[in-house]
Structure 1
Amino acid sequence: MDFELTKDQIRIRERARKFVDDVCRPLEGEWGTDDYAVPVDVFMSVVSKFREYGFRGIAIPKEAGGQGLGTVAKCLVYEELVESPVMHGLLATWSGFLDPHPALYVAPDWQKEEYLYPILREDKFYHINISEPGAGSDAAAIQTTAIRDGDNYIINGIKRWAPPPTHPGITPKYLLCYAVTDPSKGYEGISLFLVDYPNPGVNVVREYRTMAPGTYLGRSCDYEYKDCVVPAQNLLGAEGMGFRYMMDQLNRNRTVIGARLLGTGRWAQQRAIERARERKTFGAVLAERQAIQWMIAESEMELEQAKLLVYKTAWMIDRGRDARKEAAMVKCITPQVTCRVIDRAMQIHGGIGMLEESRFGQLYFQSRIAQVAEGTTEIMKGAVAREVLGRKFRS
């Protein structure tokens, strides 16, 4: 296997570093730990620059309007972006980094014009509606229904764990809603819909705040679909293909999330190294103490293992290989590794590692949430086991 990057991959990684230096660094003093508290004009300047630097549609095929650089390139960019605290909350970039659904790449031209190209070429966003109060990790158990009524579908149900639409910078242009069109077929009766937003048939009925305040994952809400009328032409792909579409997108997302977590861990590790080299106790710097050396070494080894897995998985996806097992392993391993690395960095910093301004707390809980979001650690282990043992052995 060749570990050398291509010229295009090197170029876009350098562009990401330039974005951090030129766009993010000047804002670090005023950004704080709450993305929602950033002035809208400052927030939107980052959103616009993110697009102008060419970070939207990195992995989308050129024939679908993207850059065609692949998942490896996307992972390289995401790993670099979190080098700046401005990117720690993700609010300004994750929605833009969340590529439109792959089914749109081969959709009718009018769907591409309405739902694909605005996300790639403008400062537009969409939100995914998968989870429900009674269906989280078990996505096949969703109960939201989409009943055909002439030229329309009528959608009813409640979707959970999607960002609130109230922040001016991330108000969605549409919602990507998974709903049951044929209850008799189980997961093969799930379909996918493009739901224009704002919509009189969709309302936010409850908002939540998680233990990672101020970040993209810090706020969430319930979207209630109540007799929501969606034109039949807004069905994305074919009826009954929704679950397969869901897994396709989640595998890609899990790999890129792994790259973000890798970058987060690297950031914490670098802070720990700097602290160990500078902090003196009892006449010697921390770096001379074996206990600290082992903590640094453990973090370094774990991060390197995670990196190899992340980029192997991205490489497989770029070559059209079945990466379900690998993507599940990435999603299982990288959040745990990053949490351990951050925890060690906090320990090395001592009391100041507990301060809000250290940002360790923000990053820890954001990484901890990743052990639950988009598939829990336990669900990922089950997915790996099925791939290894055979699909008939359900967990």
Structure 2
Amino acid sequence: MDFELSKEQREIQGRAGAFVEEVCRPLEATWGVSDYEVPHDVFMNVVRKFREYGFRGLAVPKEAGGQGLGTVAKCLVYEEIVKSPVMHGLLATWSGFLDPHPALHDAPEWQKETYLYPILKEDKFYHINISEPGAGSDAAGIATTAVRDGDTYIINGIKRWAPPPNHPGITPKYLLCYAVTDASKGYEGISLFLVDYPNPGVKVLREYETMAPGTYLGRSCDYEYKNCVVPAKNLLGHEGMGFRYMMDQLNRNRTVIGARLGGTARWAQAQAVKRAKERITFGEPLAERQAVQWMLAESEMDVEQIRLMAYKTAWMLDKGLDARKEAAMVKCFAPVAACRVIDRAIQIHGGLGVLKENRFGQLYFQSRIAQIAEGSTEVMKMTIAREALRSYA
């Protein structure tokens, strides 16, 4: 078993470190706790720099216009960049995390030119429309319909938990909408559509602000599809393959989320260690107290477990192996462990830990939301148990 990174992986990790030092550090003193409060020109400069440093399409195959470096490389970048508070909200790097859908890799050239390359080569974004008021982690239960009408599909339904389109830096070029094309086939009747945006058949019904304001998870909205006309050629892949496409993308996303949470936990642990060494109580540094040492030891174990699970899963994905169980384990464990690490860091900081400016609250709630987003902890346990029952049979 070899844990050594390849030359290419070390290079991308070093480049991510350079991005932190050269782009992010100079902005830390003025970057607000909320990404939404950052001046538009400053925000977009970070978006451009993220692309210029080569972090778009890391895991996208070269033949599809990406870099072909795999999920491990992508994990390395997202673990590294959260060393700077400028990247804690991750709004400016959203398009890099949310690579174009894998089904676009083998799509017709016109779809690649319209929906793949702009996300990889330009400062463009797209939003995913999966969840609904009645279907969250039970993604197979979506009710939005897409009815074929000649050379078009007519989509009707409400999608929830997608970023709002009104932030100047992340206005979507298109929406990736999952809809039912054949209700009689269950999850095999779900298909996937590329919906151009703005679109007269799509409107925002309501916006929400979550417990992690200022982050990519901080704001959400409901999109209403009302007799939305989509050209039949905008079907992505094949009818009835939508659920499989969904799982393919989610497994990759869950793995990178795990690596990012590992980086978040490492940042919180670094702050806790620094504070424990500096803070003198009753004549001694906190670092000399056994209670504090045990907190640091437990956090160190949590950080290491997140990283090992995330990188093993990323390696499996890069090898083309079935990583459903492993991706579910990463997604189940990492958010909970990261919350534990951040909570201990807050405790070690005492009163300073609850100050908004110290950003622990932002990171805690972002990690807490990750216990729900892209598959809740409980549903991940169902997946893990199902795979365990199969493998030990």
TM-score range, shorter chain: over 0.9
**TM superposition shift of 1:263:** 0.3
Pairing of 1:1-395 with structure 2 (within 5 A): 1-390=1-390
**TM superposition shift of 1:308:** 0.8
Q: Structure 1: any 5+ residue segments left out of the alignment?
A: none
Structure 1 distance, partners of 2:12, 2:68, is 12
Note the alpha carbon deviations across 1:139-182, whole angstroms, 9 max, x for none: 00000000000000000000000000000100000000000000
**TM superposition shift of 1:227:** 0.3
Structure 2 distance, partners of 1:377, 1:53, is 34
Structure 2 distance, partners of 1:238, 1:97, is 25
Q: Counterpart amino acid of 1:100?
A: P
Structure 1 distance, partners of 2:146, 2:305, is 44
Give yes or no for contact 1:145–1:179 (8 Å, CA) kept in 2: yes
Give yes or no for contact 2:107–2:236 (8 Å, CA) kept in 1: yes
Give yes or no for contact 2:95–2:119 (8 Å, CA) kept in 1: no
Note the alpha carbon deviations across 1:83-129, whole angstroms, 9 max, x for none: 00000011110233210000000000000000000000000000000
Q: Counterpart amino acid of 1:316?
A: M
Structure 2 distance, partners of 1:127, 1:96, is 12
**TM superposition shift of 1:385:** 0.5
Q: Counterpart amino acid of 1:240?
A: G
Structure 1 distance, partners of 2:97, 2:121, is 12
Structure 2 distance, partners of 1:363, 1:305, is 19
Structure 2 distance, partners of 1:365, 1:239, is 38
Give yes or no for contact 1:177–1:193 (8 Å, CA) kept in 2: yes
Give yes or no for contact 2:202–2:228 (8 Å, CA) kept in 1: yes
SS in 1 for 2:206: strand
Structure 2 distance, partners of 1:321, 1:122, is 31
**TM superposition shift of 1:306:** 1.4
Note the alpha carbon deviations across 1:12-43, whole angstroms, 9 max, x for none: 00000000000001111111111101000000
SS in 1 for 2:29: helix
SS in 2 for 1:103: helix
Note the alpha carbon deviations across 1:319-342, whole angstroms, 9 max, x for none: 000000000000000000000000
Give yes or no for contact 1:342–1:364 (8 Å, CA) kept in 2: yes
Note the alpha carbon deviations across 1:271-302, whole angstroms, 9 max, x for none: 00000011000000000010000000000011
SS in 2 for 1:226: strand
Give yes or no for contact 1:96–1:124 (8 Å, CA) kept in 2: no
Q: Counterpart amino acid of 1:19?
A: F
Give yes or no for contact 1:55–1:97 (8 Å, CA) kept in 2: no
How well do the aligned residues superpose, as a CA RMSD in angstroms? 0.9
Q: Counterpart amino acid of 1:260?
A: R
Structure 2 distance, partners of 1:157, 1:299, is 44
Structure 2 distance, partners of 1:376, 1:26, is 37
**TM superposition shift of 1:192:** 0.1
Structure 2 distance, partners of 1:17, 1:302, is 23
Give yes or no for contact 1:217–1:366 (8 Å, CA) kept in 2: yes
Q: Sequence identity of aligned pairs in percent? A: 80
Structure 1 distance, partners of 2:86, 2:280, is 30
Q: Counterpart amino acid of 1:390?
A: R
**TM superposition shift of 1:9:** 0.2
Which 10-residue stretch deviates more, 360-369 or 382-391? 382-391
SS in 1 for 2:155: strand
TM-score, normalisation: structure 1 = 0.98
Structure 2 distance, partners of 1:361, 1:95, is 24
Q: Counterpart amino acid of 2:298?
A: E
Structure 1 distance, partners of 2:352, 2:32, is 17
Q: Counterpart amino acid of 2:83?
A: E
